Amino acid sequence: MWKKTVILGAGAAGMMCAAHAGSDCLVIDHAKSPGEKIRISGGGRCNFTNLYAGPENYISANPHFCKSALSRYTQWDFISLVDGHGIAWHEKTLGQLFCDTSAKEIVAMLVAELKQAGADLWLQTKVMNVERTDPGFRVALEREGKPVTITCQNLVLATGGKSIPKMGATGLAYDLAQKFGLKVTDTRAGLVPFTFTDGRFKALSGTALPARLSNQQTSFDEALLFTHRGLSGPSVLQLSSYWREGEHIHVNLTPEIALFEILREQRQIQGRRDLTTELSRHLPARLVDFLATELGIKGKLADQSDMALRALCDRLQDWQLLPSGTEGYRTAEVTIGGIDTQELSSKTMGSSKCPGLFAIGEAVDVTGWLGGYNFQWAWASGYAAGTAIAAS
Ligand SMILES: Cc1cc2nc3c(=O)[nH]c(=O)nc-3n(C[C@H](O)[C@H](O)[C@H](O)COP(=O)(O)OP(=O)(O)OC[C@H]3O[C@@H](n4cnc5c(N)ncnc54)[C@H](O)[C@@H]3O)c2cc1C
């Protein structure tokens, strides 16, 4: 069987690409249903884009690479598509847009779009082998227990990254890219909780507060959540994408207030108040109990010298922690790194080394922050490849 285009992966990027690649396009996935990560994303409501998405919200060895695709298919383009399908949505926080009802609406929308464009979708289909032919590719598949071979002019790698293997994530895109001579950068888990093997936060499990998490490179002000195994919550997930093993992280537990000034003022007004009681006005009580033991916080406000208060504030506003590691690909929302962008055209997502080969979505070394940015990259890169293929 001959097809102009075969897209491997019916996820966010693959379906978007198919919706624009024109007819004679076949999308292949080994899963039972398309867009499984879309379905579970955003707690089942899919944080499908971000009002403020821009190139600065992406991590890549080449930070300029994502600019072209993001500017040619913006958050506003995706919002129009969603509106056109009558899907109700709302902004939750920080420009993050979610479906009012269910992420399944986004999956249904993409399937409808690709069908309308004339593309075929084969699910529960195994990719057995892919070979280069001249020109094009030969893709050996197993469908309903039977071998099927497709030859095609264009092959799009859209099988995503390594995160959550339980959901069917594989390294297929990286393997095929390497097979066809493209470089793949080192990969690691991103948007992932930190672990502490000493279990030191067990007693705090479930405690959450707004915090500023930073390292040498960057800083994020969002919620911090203590867990049985370590630290999670948006600020932690964001920082994890910039973290390397063996590096300390810095936690500011009171980023929004001038704690030192407040404590000094309260010492004047409420000198007989316990220091821990005063801290509990600004921090969760369980955390104050924990810190009291960890940092030896005791005594009345009136007993504290300026120096002691300053030292305490420094500890609370620059608490340095050394994570043992992360939860890894088992729970990571994304994979950092991937197919080297130097190998791809930023306009078409096509390879110059291997004409007809395209790579899109998470498989490429472009990773977004938490907050709808990763889907926006999937839509934009899928659109870039799809429109380039349609025009070819
Ligand atoms: C729990 C969770 C929640 C998330 N929430 C959000 C969110 O709210 N907002 C956001 O922007 N991002 C979110 N993300 C990230 C987002 O899901 C991904 O960045 C995005 O799905 C990447 O799109 P993709 O098309 O490149 O890959 P995917 O969506 O992962 O699609 C890849 C497809 O390829 C298929 N596949 C893989 N290997 C093979 C193979 N060997 N053979 C055949 N098919 C194969 C898979 O079955 C899958 O259908 C979340 C991720 C997770 C894990």
Q: Domain holding 273: CATH number?
A: 2.40.30.10
Say yes or no: 100 and 206 in one domain. Answer: no
Strands 194-195, 188-190: pairing is: unpaired
Show which of 273, 300, 326 is a domain's final residue: 326
Say yes or no: 352 and 225 in one domain. Answer: no
Show which of 296, 326, 356 is a domain's final residue: 326
Domain count, the chain: 2
Say yes or no: 51 and 105 in one domain. Answer: yes
375 lines ligand 1 (CB under 6 A): yes
Say yes or no: 31 and 112 in one domain. Answer: yes
Say yes or no: 220 and 297 in one domain. Answer: yes
* Mean pLDDT score, 179-208: 97
* Mean pLDDT score, 356-383: 98
Q: Cβ of 110: how many Cβ atoms within 10 Å? A: 25
pLDDT of residue 285: 96
Mean pLDDT of the chain: 97
Q: Counting beta carbons within 10 angstroms of the beta carbon of residue 48, is it exposed (0 to 12), middle (13 to 18) or buried (19 or more)? A: buried
334 lines ligand 1 (CB under 6 A): yes
Tens of pLDDT along 316-339? 999 999 999 999 999 999 999 999
367 lines ligand 1 (CB under 6 A): no
Whether the predicted pLDDT of 22 surpasses 90? no
Say yes or no: 24 and 173 in one domain. Answer: yes
Say yes or no: 165 and 288 in one domain. Answer: no
Say yes or no: 121 and 263 in one domain. Answer: no
pLDDT of residue 270: 94
Say yes or no: 163 and 241 in one domain. Answer: no
Whether the predicted pLDDT of 303 surpasses 90? yes
371 lines ligand 1 (CB under 6 A): no
Residue 182 Cα to chain centre, angstroms:
23
Residue with tokens 């600065």: 56
Whether the predicted pLDDT of 23 surpasses 90? no
Show which of 306, 326, 346 is a domain's final residue: 326
The one-letter amino acid code at 135 reads P
Say yes or no: 23 and 47 in one domain. Answer: yes
Q: Counting beta carbons within 10 angstroms of the beta carbon of residue 145, is it exposed (0 to 12), middle (13 to 18) or buried (19 or more)? A: exposed
Say yes or no: 161 and 35 in one domain. Answer: yes
378 lines ligand 1 (CB under 6 A): yes
Q: Counting beta carbons within 10 angstroms of the beta carbon of residue 74, is it exposed (0 to 12), middle (13 to 18) or buried (19 or more)? A: middle
pLDDT of residue 134: 81
Q: Which residues pair with 190 in a beta bridge?
A: 334
The one-letter amino acid code at 69 reads A
Q: Cβ of 219: how many Cβ atoms within 10 Å? A: 16
Whether the predicted pLDDT of 115 surpasses 90? yes
Neighbour-count burial for 345-363, b at 16+ CB within 10 Å, e otherwise: bbebbbbeebebbbbbbbb
Q: State the Cα–Cα distance between residues 99 and 50, nearest whole angstrom.
A: 12
Q: Tell how far the Cα of 14 is from the centroid of ligand 1, in angstroms.
A: 10
Q: State the Cα–Cα distance between residues 8 and 127, nearest whole angstrom.
A: 8
Ligand 1 atom nearest residue 374's Cα:
11
Residue with tokens 């070979």: 131
Tens of pLDDT along 42-97? 999 999 999 999 999 999 999 999 999 999 999 999 999 999 999 999 999 999 99
- Regarding pTM above 0.75, the answer is yes
The residue range of the domain holding 365 is: 2-189+330-391
Structure tokens given for 329: 């690909």
* Mean pLDDT score, 259-268: 97
Nearest CA, atom 4, ligand 1: 41
Whether the predicted pLDDT of 202 surpasses 90? yes
pLDDT above 70 coverage of the chain, percent: 100
pLDDT of residue 171: 95
Say yes or no: 228 and 308 in one domain. Answer: yes
31 lines ligand 1 (CB under 6 A): yes
Q: Assess whether the previous peptide bond of 135 is cis (omega < 30° from 0).
A: yes
339 lines ligand 1 (CB under 6 A): no
The CATH number covering residue 78 comes to 3.50.50.60
Helix, coil or strand: residue 371: coil
